[in-house]
Amino acid sequence: MTDVVELAERLIACPSVTPASGPVFDALEAMLAPLGFEVDRFIAGAGDGDDAVENLLAIRRGPAGSRHLAFAGHLDVVPPGEGWASAPFAPERRPGPGGEVLYGRGAVDMKGAIAAMVAAAAEVPAAAGTLSFVITGDEEGPAVHGTRALIERIRARGEVPDLCLVGEPTSVHRLGDTIKIGRRGSVNIFLEVAGTQGHVAYPHLADNPIPKLVAMLAELDALVLDEGTEWFQPSNLEATDITVGNPAHNVIPARASARISIRFNALHTGAELAKRVDAIARRHGGSAQAIVSGEAFLTPPGDFSALIADAIAAETGIIAELSTTGGTSDARFLKHLCPVIECGLVNATMHKCDEAVAVEDLAVLARIYTRVANAVFKDVGEMVA
């Protein structure tokens, strides 16, 4: 149960394009049950098609009053795509310049990290404290019935963890060089301008929505949302789509639409930014509909981040950088439960063809997670104050 590479191979061998269900959860349950975990698997959502999401909550309880550390992550993966040198769901070890490398979809994001968590759990005494796994099958998808449903389940059971470690691939160049203590928020806003269709030779009888949309986008593009903060880079607004869909060269279209995406720091909220964009859209005769994917959050540097950094330094000699860069993750939901930090493998090949992880990195990450768990269960300060 402690061979982290074999554990990773067992998970990779289960095709689990989002939303994941069935065999990959069977494999994880088979790993956790012999270690003393009580495994709760449940389906959230409508129960049919892509709306059905499988989740897993596994708990191994320690002595009454002991700390509770949650390992969190996801078993779903993005579609493999074309151009792999080997079958994406047939894990394969190959020699690499720095040692053996394991290939397969999910090797980095993030079945490898979950395997490291299982290997760590096998090394941590059950009597040391309460350890849990919070695992979803829908992080790469809509993320509506995944971790949010797990959070509801955890609260309903009254087993909220004190601290949570998410295994997202946070490392950039070398294992352990970066850990995430927060993430920027994300909001997608759909813009539309309605006009009046007409002949291009008679513009006075029509109302062209395109100039209005272009002016709207120009004003939005000129916005400087902020200059960043101590822990966050400046917020950025990007146009991601413009659509008119007019097949005729001699017709003024009836409507034009666009989409923008804003990644924002803790100086803003999704609702505030949506309101600001809506006001600009209205000034140009348009409308705006916003979908907030997540709010910015920060787990302030302190005992928890220091404990993880110490574990990394002990195993690798690297001084980890504390960062809030990158995209969103399910940490944006888990932060409502307790302090959360992300620490995982090198992310260079995630979502790419020939996704791969160094075999040695899997072993080292398992040892890092073991150190973290053992330190959490010791008297290391008021980390949850």
Confidence of residue 385 (pLDDT cuts 50, 70, 90): very low
CATH 3.40.630.10 domain position(s) in the chain: 4-183+297-376
> Residues marked as binding for Zn(2+)?
74, 109, 140, 168, 351
CATH 3.30.70.360 domain position(s) in the chain: 185-294
Q: Which one is catalytic: 54, 76, 355, 361?
A: 76
What superfamily does domain 4-183+297-376 belong to in CATH?
Answer: Zn peptidases (3.40.630.10)
The residues near 74 (Cβ < 8 Å, ≥ 6 apart) are 20, 110, 135, 136, 137, 138, 139, 140, 146, 147, 330
Confidence of residue 382 (pLDDT cuts 50, 70, 90): very low
pTM reported for the whole predicted model:
0.91
pLDDT in tens, 163-209: 999 999 999 999 999 999 999 999 999 999 999 999 999 999 999 99
Confidence of residue 379 (pLDDT cuts 50, 70, 90): low
Distance of CA 68 to the CA centre of its chain: 22
Q: Does domain 185-294 have CATH number 3.30.70.360?
A: yes
Q: Which one is catalytic: 9, 92, 138, 139?
A: 139
DSSP 8-class letter at 235: P
Place of tokens 């006001």: 279
pLDDT in tens, 23-53: 999 999 999 999 999 999 999 987 555 578 9
> Residues marked as binding?
74, 109, 140, 168, 351
How far is Cα 223 from Cα 217, in angstroms, rounded to an integer? Answer: 10
Mean pLDDT, residues 91-99: 94
Quick one: pLDDT at residue 380?
A: 41
Among 274, 293, 279, 307, smallest CA distance to 381 is for 307
Q: Name the phi and psi angles at 252, rounded to 5.
A: -75, 125
pLDDT at 344 over 80: yes
139 belongs to the catalytic site: yes
